[in-house]
Amino acid sequence: MARGRQATDEEVACPKCGTFFNVLGLSSHTRSCGKRRRIEVATRELATHLTATAVAAAATAAATVASGSQEVAAPPEAHPMEVDELRHESIVTNVIVHNPAADDAVYEQLRNRRSTSVEDVPEVDPEDNGTLKAVFVDAPAQSRARDSDRLFLPTFEPPVLRNIPSPLCEDDFLTVHHPRAGRPPTIDHFDDYKPDRPDDPVDLSRLNKTPWEPFKSRIDFEFAEFALGASLNQGQISTLLELVGRIKEEPTAFSLQSHSDLKNAWEAASHVSPGTKLPEGGDALVYSLYADKTRLSSFGSEKGYPIMARIMNLPPELRNSGEYGGMQVVGFLPIVEDEEQEGKPGFTTHKRVVWHEAFERLLKDVARYAKTGYRVKCGDGVLRTLFPIILILVADYEEQTMMALTRGSGGLCPCPICLVPQDQQSILSIQPTHPLRDQTVAEQIVAQKGHITAAALNEQLKPLGLRPVQNVFWKVPGCDVYRALSWDRLHAYHGGLFSDHLFAQFQEIVKLLGRNATEDVNAQYDAIPRWPNLNHFTAVVAVNFTDGTKYEDMSKVIVPASYMVMKKYGSTRGMMLLKCIRRYMVLDMLAGLEVQVKETLQMYATELTRFSQAIMAYQEAFEDKNWSFPKAHTHQHLIDDIVAKGVSKNLNAKLFEHMHGLLKEIYQDRTNFKDVDHQVSQIEHQTCVTKVIRARVNALDRVQAGTGSPKPASVDKFQFNHVHLGSKKGPLTLAQVEQQFAHTPDFARFRLRLEEYLNKTHPGAPNRAWQRLKAEMEVIEARYIKVDYESVVTWRALTDHLRCSPMFQGAPRYDHIIYQIDDNTIGFAQLKFVFVCTFQGTQYPVALVKPYNIIRNRRNMDRDLGLCRVHPCPTTEFVPVECILRGALIVKDVEENSPNFLVIDTVDGDMFLRLRKKVSVWNT
């Protein structure tokens, strides 16, 4: 009942049917009653029309028989009906038309005949007033009694066939169309509906002879259809088309004709080995091993436990790749799971026993040749005796406890490398202060198993945080498992210390500040300009990721994106946490450097103590968070790892985890989801063989290409030293430029200021005569700027891709730059307009920029949070494009009424070290 209406018992008679109804429901009933009566009236009218139509059809047939003519009479005039409720055009039923006055023998004869000719149609008795009955053919005679008050109406269905009326047969269909259709009745034969009837004849004149259009040919369409069905991407389609073209050029070179041919080829290729068979019989062959479980299926129901390896003797760009000579899957470990037994000491020990016994099968030959060495002819043609050494073990903390057989975070000494007590893991120093684990001691204690009671053995192992299981790595000569275990930046920092602790605390604090604070933080993250290789986030407070790279990118901008929110809402805890995050970010920048020197290692050691002090202060102020956990401690051993094994990139699981994607693709696209380990390993081996053969083919191609005449180098007119200009627009006259930006203050006096700049920078100035710029002078605008620069970390060439465009990917994009002012000074600016012009016969690449001044008087908050502030200059200026050093990520400072901007110094290692060297006041 609608709100505000009061109930009543008053009843009123319906004006249409006379039934009494409550006054509140009368209007609804009246509408439905009127609709029902209109349908009844329309039905009776239609019945009358059907009867008349049937009479006319029968009379026409009888007259045709009497006259001996086969002509068909014209249909009766359509009955005018205006009934909205009846929308079907025709009525179909399995009937014959019969005159009740006709002789029953005639009816029975007609009924029992398989086919009926026109002579068999009963005559119409003119005394019968033309009344016909629609009678089912199979109905008994007694059911044909005259009933003038009722008509057996068939079911309304759409018209199916529209044939010209013909003689009736058993099970024929008479179709009488709705009067609106204005169409004659049709008779269809049951035989026409049989599924085995021949196809209807096709009108060839109306057949489309090129149904594959707009494709140029049928084969073009079928290729496009195949590519769509196989979900081929752009690169795969290009490769396939290239192969098709090569097959056309050399048809005899392609021998595969079926899937079995391809299968046989793979079986023959499976014997190809990436290396040489180990002979019997020094140089170290250094291995890096990785093991970690991964989800193969989308929902995690199917898992894999791959073991991967790298040969560390190879160059970094090769060993860290997924190509031939790079990372390779070498085996799969069994996954032991039992929800009912999980957590019980016996089952925990059982899983570790299975893990190490399975891993032993992989290391059997490694352990043997680690003693004897083996002679092998290396790729450079030199015969060497190699001794395999497992130098690096890469894994997450949980896998490290499996490798080291420690008791995990709940043990008295949780660290797999040293014996730090559980409650002292957050205390860091420049040098490790706790003794390192001794493999000899652990071996001696576990060797007592079976000779002393389990309780006595446990008493010796418990203080060391070890389990009573024989470690497989003890069997490999030259391998100290506790020294081989390495600090993993992905899991220890991005997917551990930051994601699970620092960022989790950050999310809790912002949520407690309220909805407005959450919206402010998300808005500030969204306002960060797009930057190459940096994920852009529109919301972070209520978001969780499984990708460590996203957490890494999120951490780079968290301080400048959120410090004002903490300040605005007066969150002391939030500001203290941001100080901890800033110290973490400095550690992360230094840990990720691809080249380490004594200076950077010293910086990292000093920063460890600063981070520890910040964490201790936070923990003292807010005791609800315990910071004594393994991933807050393990970076204490990073410097030792770098000195012994190289930079952290060698130790990072991120490189290995890229291989998980390949295994998932194999599982989802190439297996039947049964016997998964066997199928995945077989197909992965085929991938390995492909890499080997492809490397050989590429080597042959390079040799053959080198024998031909070299191609002349193309001249790029828009390459200016280390800067290339692209996405060119124009030419535009100076008058057009000034008109286009007439209402933009940054372009005020554009032509006159450009004239001054060119005259002052042109060779020979100031002795040359002043040259005026005409309004008709043309320039070429460039909206893409590629800058090659030398990294201050690796001294190798890197590239930034910058934009200066009013519309790039749906939004304006005007990137910021670092440019050289003089030999010792750098500046920051925003690109406004980049162009090339010709002056006095010389081509000049010029950038109109908005410079920023460095704010050198820093507040305590800026030093604690590492905020690098710059202030925009009031006017723009012209600078040569060649002075651009690299791009810079600069964001608007959201502090109240502040015109300043913030330079993000943690965007990458080069930016971090460059600013520390060039801007000393930012060295925090």
- Greatest mean pLDDT among 319-323, 476-480, 771-775 lies in 476-480
> Which sign does the torsion angle of CA 790, 794, 796, 801 carry?
negative
Average pLDDT over residues 759-778: 80
Judge if pTM exceeds 0.85. no
Phi, psi of 742 (to 5 degrees): -60, -30
| 628 has pLDDT over 80 | yes
Q: Tokens for 315? A: 């160059």
Q: Is 277 helix (H, G, I), strand (E, B) or coil?
A: coil
Q: Which helix (H) or strand (E) holds 660?
A: helix 653-670
For residue 95, the model assigns a pLDDT of: 39
First to last CA, the chain: 71
Confidence of residue 507 (pLDDT cuts 50, 70, 90): very high
User: Would you give the DSSP letter of residue 485?
Assistant: B
| 619 has pLDDT over 70 | yes
Residue 21 to residue 513: CA distance in whole angstroms:
60
| Tokens 């190699």 sit on residue | 386
For residue 542, the model assigns a pLDDT of: 85
Helices 548-568 and 503-513: angle between axes, nearest 10 degrees: 40
Amino acid at 103: D
Q: Kindly report, residue by residue over 218-253, the tens digit of the pLDDT.
A: 788 778 778 777 777 788 888 888 888 888 888 878
Q: By the 8 A CB rule, do 883 and 865 touch?
A: no
Residue 792 to residue 913: CA distance in whole angstroms:
7
Residue 223 to residue 220: CA distance in whole angstroms:
5
For residue 848, the model assigns a pLDDT of: 95
> Helix/strand/coil (H, E, C) string of 799-849?
EEEEEEEEEECCEEEECEEEEEEECCEEEEEEEEEEEEEEECCEEEEEEEE
Measure Cα distances from 609 to 238, 248, 263 in Å. Answer: 54, 68, 60
Confidence of residue 83 (pLDDT cuts 50, 70, 90): very low
Omega of the bond prior to 214 within 30 degrees of 0, cis? yes
Please list, in sequence order, all residues whose beta carbon lies within 8 angstroms of the beta carbon of residue 698, skipping any fewer than 6 positions away. none
For residue 874, the model assigns a pLDDT of: 92
> Helix/strand/coil (H, E, C) string of 2-60?
CCCCCCCCCEEECCCCCCEEECCCHHHHHHHHHHHHHHHHHHHHHHHHHHHHHHHHHHH
Q: Where are the beta strands (DSSP E) in 259-399?
A: 283-291, 294-295, 303-304, 306-311, 328-332, 374-377, 383-394
Omega of the bond prior to 201 within 30 degrees of 0, cis? no
Measure Cα distances from 281 to 362, 363, 384, 475, 478 in Å. Answer: 20, 18, 10, 20, 18
Omega of the bond prior to 766 within 30 degrees of 0, cis? yes
Residue 117 to residue 64: CA distance in whole angstroms:
12
Burial (CB count within 10 angstroms: exposed 0-12, middle 13-18, buried 19+), residue 691: middle
CB-CB neighbours of 208 under 10 Å: 7
In the chain, % of residues over pLDDT 70: 78
For residue 202, the model assigns a pLDDT of: 55
Strand partners, 763: none
Q: Which helix (H) or strand (E) holds 599?
A: helix 598-621
Q: Kindly report, residue by residue over 102-153, the tens digit of the pLDDT.
A: 444 444 443 444 333 333 334 434 444 433 333 333 434 444 444 444 434 3
- The mean-pLDDT minimum among 297-306, 373-382, 402-411, 855-864 falls in 297-306
User: Would you give the DSSP letter of residue 778?
Assistant: E
Confidence of residue 49 (pLDDT cuts 50, 70, 90): low
Please list, in sequence order, all residues whose beta carbon lies within 8 angstroms of the beta carbon of residue 673, skipping any fewer than 6 positions away. 302, 667
